[in-house]
Structure 1
Amino acid sequence: MVSGLDGRPGGSSDRRFTVEVRPGPEAGVVVVQVTGELDHDTAEPLRSALGNAVAGGARRIVVDCAELRFCDSTGLNVLLRARLAAQGGEARVELAALRPQVARMLAVTGAAAVFPRYASLGEALAVPRQE
């Protein structure tokens, strides 16, 4: 698990951002679970985890957003850059279990159109492998 604090003065443990990376149910699938608030001060652990998954040859990177309470433009930029890097290696970055506030930010910015999205992690992992 990789984690980071929000870095703001007076930040508290309830503002912690964590990233947990684990293998998916089949080879080439990586699940990246994010928890907390993704912003300028907390983005590095996710940037690193996604970069490592792409460099490690993952074919599908499923970002589980069920516990992601907030995402700002920096977090969106991390996801978009990871998507581009993954595409360069013929891989995909997918989003699962978006909370309404994060889904709205993706919709407003137009980024929702470029990510495969699933209602839950289970639904995402049930999708048959695409070559």
Structure 2
Amino acid sequence: MNLTCRHLPGATLIAVAGEVDTTTSTHLEDYIDQQRERLDQHLIIDMSELSFLDSSGLAVLLAAATLARAHGVGVHLAGLRPMPARLLEITGARRAVTVYDHVEQAIASVEALNLVNPSERA
């Protein structure tokens, strides 16, 4: 698994590549916690290079979504490949996050949300 981060106004963008399973999900969780500058900022996760996601990785995403929702923001997933998308669909987890085809769409959506709610800006 490879992780990269970019900070945007009102959001943290994390790109996840490779596989997230029981051996790597804790690393993903720690990385998300370390990279988020503020809990009241949206979290965008670029999953376009994520080939595999198991239930432990899904649990990390759902925990991040619960925390974000508690602070009035959301988790935005972009570029889902078929396998991770199917896992989100069959478990019902897709209801807890917002899904976009491309990361650019997620960024534009968060920018629009931040215009509506300027207090979310960094």
Give the shorter-chain TM-score range: 0.7 to 0.9
TM-score (norm. length: structure 1): 0.79
Q: Does 1:86 align with 2:79?
A: no
4+ residue segments displaced more than 6 Å: none
Aligned partner of residue 86 in structure 1, secondary structure: helix
Highest Rg: 1 or 2? 1
Residue 64 of structure 1 deviates from its aligned partner by: 0.2
Structure scoring higher RCO (CA < 8 A, sep ≥ 6) equals 2
Distance in 1, matches of 2:36 and 2:15, equals 15
Letter in structure 2 aligned against 1:84:
T
Residue 93 of structure 1 deviates from its aligned partner by: 1.0
Question: Within 5 A, what are the aligned runs for 1:1-131?
Answer: 17-24=1-8, 27-54=9-36, 56-127=38-109, 128-130=112-114, 131=117
Residue 54 of structure 1 deviates from its aligned partner by: 4.7
Q: Is the alpha carbon distance of 1:53 and 1:28 closer, same or farther for their aligned partners in structure 2, counting shifts above 3 Å?
A: farther
Q: Is the alpha carbon distance of 1:64 and 1:21 closer, same or farther for their aligned partners in structure 2, counting shifts above 3 Å?
A: same
Residue 40 of structure 2 contacts residue 72 of structure 2 at CA under 8 Å; is this kept in 1?
Answer: no
Letter in structure 2 aligned against 1:30:
T
Distance in 2, matches of 1:45 and 1:56, equals 19
Distance in 1, matches of 2:32 and 2:65, equals 9
* Structure richer in helix, relative to its length: 2
Letter in structure 1 aligned against 2:27:
P
Tell me the C-alpha RMSD between the 2 structures. Answer: 1.5
Residue 60 of structure 1 deviates from its aligned partner by: 0.9
